[in-house]
């Protein structure tokens, strides 16, 4: 009887781990991979000759939107310096912009993350960008945006995507 119960428990565990398995995002035109923690994440734009970066959504664009960009920078530029440049040159001009804080981030590639708020069509949005150091001339920017309450709810997923981001 114990063997049957043990067998059933092992079988259920195997089925559950398969059901919650993470997908690996990869594409021939990019030199990196990362894990998608939920089947709710869908690719809406693959890299091609016109677009060098993928775009993904978490169900709907307002729930969570991700774009990954490779930034070629001056030798020695840090992720923190790139984050500050983006704040000064791009983000600060978003409607209703409120600067958040910068935090160090550790994953397969290390860097910093910056959060900020802005408004779009009268709705409070949240932006969270992970700046990950590839080498001394390359920083990858994983830019997440979505409605503030919805993107906040999937913070563990955005962190996991950034934590599993690695070069091929």
Domain boundaries, the chain: 22-167
**Sign of the dihedral defined by the CA atoms of residues 102, 58, 146, 144, in that order:** positive
Among candidate residues 37, 155, 18, 167, the one with its CA nearest the CA of residue 100: 155
pLDDT in the model for residue 22: 83
Q: Judge: domain 22-167, CATH 3.40.50.10300.
A: no
pTM to 2 decimal places: 0.85
Beta strand spans in 9-137 (E) = 23-25, 32-36, 41-45, 55-58, 60-72, 98-105, 111-120, 123-135
CA gap 152, 86 in Å, rounded: 21
pLDDT in tens, the chain (168 residues): 655 544 444 444 444 444 455 899 999 999 999 999 999 999 999 988 777 899 999 999 999 999 999 999 999 999 999 999 999 999 999 999 999 999 999 999 999 999 999 999 999 999 999 999 999 999 999 999 999 999 999 999 999 999 999 999
- Give the single-character DSSP code of 37: S
């Amino acid at each position: 009887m114990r063997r049957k119960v043990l067998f059933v428990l092992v079988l259920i565990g195997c089925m559950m781990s398969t059901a919650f398995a993470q997908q690996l995002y990869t594409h021939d035109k990019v030199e990196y991979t990362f894990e998608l923690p939920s089947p709710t994440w869908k690719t809406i734009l693959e890299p091609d000759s016109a677009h060098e970066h993928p775009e993904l959504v978490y169900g709907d664009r307002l729930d969570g939107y991700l774009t990954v960009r490779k930034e070629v920078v001056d030798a020695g530029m840090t992720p923190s310096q790139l984050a500050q440049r983006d704040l000064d040159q791009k983000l600060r001009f978003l409607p209703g912009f409120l600067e958040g804080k910068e935090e160090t981030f550790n994953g397969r590639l290390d860097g910093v993350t910056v959060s900020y708020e802005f408004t779009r069509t009268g709705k409070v949005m949240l932006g969270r960008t992970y700046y990950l150091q590839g080498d001394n001339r390359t920083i990858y920017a994983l830019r997440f945006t979505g409605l503030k309450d919805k993107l906040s709810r999937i913070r563990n997923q955005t962190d996991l995507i950034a934590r599993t981001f690695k070069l091929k």
